[in-house]
Every structure is written in structure tokens, then in C-alpha cells.
Amino acid sequence: MARTKSTYVCQSCGSVSGRWSGRCEACGAWNSIVEEAAPEGPPGGLSKSGRRGARRIEFVDLQGESEPTPRLVSGIGEFDRVCGGGLVPGSALLVGGDPGIGKSTLLLQAAAALGEQAAAIYVSGEEAVDQVRLRAKRLDLEKAPVQLAAATSVRDLVASLDRPDAPSLVIIDSIQTMHVDALESAPGTVAQVRASAQELVRVAKRRGFCLLLVGHVTKDGVIAGPKVLEHMVDCVLTFEGERGHQFRILRATKNRFGPTDEIGVFEMTDKGLVEVANPSELFLAERHGNVAGAAVFAGIEGTRPLLVEVQALVSPSPLGTPRRTAVGWDSGRLSMILAVLEARCGLVMAGKDVYLNIAGGLRINEPAADLAVAAALVSSACDRPVPEGCVVFGEIGLSGEVRAVSQSDLRLKEATKLGFASAILPPRRGGRLSPPEGIELQEMAHLQDLVARIAAQPAPDEPVSR
């Protein structure tokens, strides 16, 4: 009996090697290489003899006469916003997030909302049908017109969905539990995830229904499985949030039919996820004014202006190596701003512990938050509060200059709507900025100007001079 050939595939990056090793040479991941059965053989060549069954492809013009199919709107405003205004028929979406963050809850709510206007199917590979019914009952969705199934065989799913009267929405929870019987590897491996997603996406494109795939994440927070899975789908959504906060952020990291980096804000309740129409007001609800070490940042997430509080604490360190901790922001960028404050502004940070936190569990990746972070650090180090009723935004260069950022008008309009009377921002270039009425602009050309402005503030316990 011939011996079955095996290959060794990394479950993080998908690279193939001829032997097992503890560390993948391609991506550097440890203990990620798994033995899988080798394929039967390469496909036939593309010579003239191998082209007998091929057919010519008909090419069409870029401008077509057919009208695009309208999007499926669920009625959950934050979910539709992240998807670009609704679900596009024939598209495939991948939703990832930490365990227990609310992926299945949100998709069940979306299926119940879309089931009122179109046929929706929810396929669970991790739970039984009765378990899904228990969650629906807890969410008061037990009467929603959603069809359920507990299945893991891709062959059975394709045979059930590949028909002229296919449903409009299909949810697969999760793609790591699906398996193709033509492969000998276990479900969740790179080969199984890639083949399962490919078959499901193919039938979704052919029949025109919207496919939602739930994906597991690794301990590093990235979607598990091969990277080609994210390239295969049209939209990648990630669920973010801290366990200690009730807020959940749905972020689009890839979207072929809408803006990228758009976010939707939800609040986790005992009745499921509730959309937050005005997240800026919610993130600032517990903010206390006239406190040292806090600054309000006016940011942009996708197309939405968002105000969040940046908190900093600078204290003497009893250790030889001071700590630098950042929650919700890049720790490398924090070190850069601390170096600029020390080298360009003379603010001594050596020998001091620095803690930075973005209130509300939100993660900020925008360079425009540099000035707000610097304001919070200077405020805590000098024990002087940032001017009350003031928002801060701007990018900081290595020489200490404050650089302009995009969409300043939207940031200022959002600040004015929430009652802020002043803004610390970079200098205007050519007078192109048209601020709304009722807000005072304090332009900072260099980081030294910000340090001097905050140092001139009275201490929190000092009376304000009249």
C-alpha cells in the first residue's frame, strides 16, 4: 500500500514546507505548523491538448445598461453605515472579533431585521438549533422570520443554496467550523478555511445572495486562517471593545462598496446590541472638567467626526526603568511624543512613569491625536488642566512643529454641536478653514506654544483670578 504524502502548512500565513519545525520561517509564528495531506497532483497543463474543454470568455464594456440591484437595508443604522449604506446582493462579508464580543448577537439581530423584507438563513456550525433559539428568545426575536440550520458540511450547504429560489441573506457562524470532504485536513486548518470560503463565495456570487461569514481571531487580535480569506471577501468587519466597557465598535477595515475605516458604535445590553446615534456625547458623558491630565480629542473615524477623552498620568517612578503604558493608542507613537517633549520643549520625562488611556474602550489610529496626547501629558506633568471647554487636534513632527490635518471643519462642527467654545489646532493654511460660529480658534505652530499655554493655566485647586 502506497504511503500517503504529507505537507506541513503554517496555520498563520499558509506557507508550505516539507518538514515540521517549531517556528515558521515565513511569518515567525511558533507552534503554528500542522501536518496536512498533500493534494493528489498538479492540474493538467495548458497546452493545446489541454484546452479542448475550454470556452471563450465574452468581454463587455465598462458602461452597462442594467440597473444595479438595490442594497438590503437592515434598519440597524450603525450596521448599515459600516457596510456602506446596506448589504450589496452577491457580496461576501467577513466579521471577526474576540470570543463573546457580540458577533453572533449582532448578526442574529441583522438577520431578524432583514427577514422582514427578504428570506434570511442562519447556519450555525458551533451551536445547536435549540441554542440559537434560546439566544433569539433572550433578544425577543423568537418570532422573527429567520430559518435556522446546524451544519458544517460545505457540500450539503452548496447543494441547499445553489438553486434559483435562493435566499437573500445567508449567515455562516463560523467559517472555521466548515469543512470540505474532498480534503483530509481537520476543520479550521488553512486548507479547509480557504476551500470552504471559496465554495461559499462562489455560490453566493452565482445566485446573488449576500453571504456573511463569522471568523475567529487569534490571540493577537487578527482574523484566524489564511490572509487570502480577507482578500476573497468584499468587506471585512472587526468587532472591538473592552470587556469592562459596555461599548462595542464595529469597524470596516476593507470595503469594496463603501468607505474604509468607517465605524459603528453599539452598547451591549441584556436585550442585545443597541445602536448609539451620538457616540461623541456618550464617550464624554462621564467626563469631569478642570482636571489635570485630560484632553478632548476631535477625531474622524471614516466619515464620522468623533470626540473622545484622552487621559494621561505622569508620576515619579520608583524603578530604574520607568513604565510606558498606552491603552487604545500606539505605544510607539507615545514614546515619540515623549521624546519630542523632552528634546524640543525641555519637559523632563526621564525617571517618570507614563500611563495613557483612551476613555470608553475606543482605539485611535489617527496621527491627528498627537496634539491631544501631548496636551494630556503636559497637563499631568505640570498639574495644570487643559482650558475648559476646549478640543485639541493636530499632528506633531519630530522637530516639534504642529502640522495641519484633514477635515478640520467637520471636527469643529462636532465640537460646537456639543457645546465646546474653543479649539487648539494647527495654523490654518491660506485661510481655507471656515470655522462655525461660536468657537474660538487657538492656533499652535510649535509644541512649545502648547506647553506655555497649559503652564499658564491655574492649578485645579487654585481659585481663578477675576
- DSSP string computed for 12-72: TT--EESS--SB-TTT--BS-EEEEEPPS-PPPP-SGGGGTT--PPPP--SS-SSPPPPPB
Greater pLDDT, 62 or 266: 266
Task: Tell me the pLDDT tens digit for each residue of 160-194.
Answer: 999 989 999 999 998 999 999 988 888 988 889 99
Q: What pLDDT is stored for residue 49 in this prediction?
A: 55
Mean pLDDT value across the chain: 87
Distance of CA 53 to the CA centre of its chain: 44
User: Mean pLDDT, to the nearest integer, of 261-274?
Assistant: 88
Distance of CA 68 to the CA centre of its chain: 28
Task: Tell me the pLDDT tens digit for each residue of 278-294.
Answer: 888 878 877 777 789 99
Is residue 50 scored above 60 in pLDDT?
Answer: no
Q: What pLDDT is stored for residue 465 in this prediction?
A: 46
Percentage, residues of the chain above pLDDT 70:
92
User: Mean pLDDT, to the nearest integer, of 425-440?
Assistant: 79
- Which CATH number is associated with domain 77-277? 3.40.50.300
User: Mean pLDDT, to the nearest integer, of 151-161?
Assistant: 95
- CATH architecture of the domain with range 282-455: 2-Layer Sandwich (3.30)
Rounded CA-CA distance 461/290 in Å is: 9
Helices and strands: H and E segment counts in the chain? 11, 21
Q: What pLDDT is stored for residue 3 in this prediction?
A: 54
CB 181 within 8 A of CB 155: yes
Q: What pLDDT is stored for residue 449 in this prediction?
A: 94
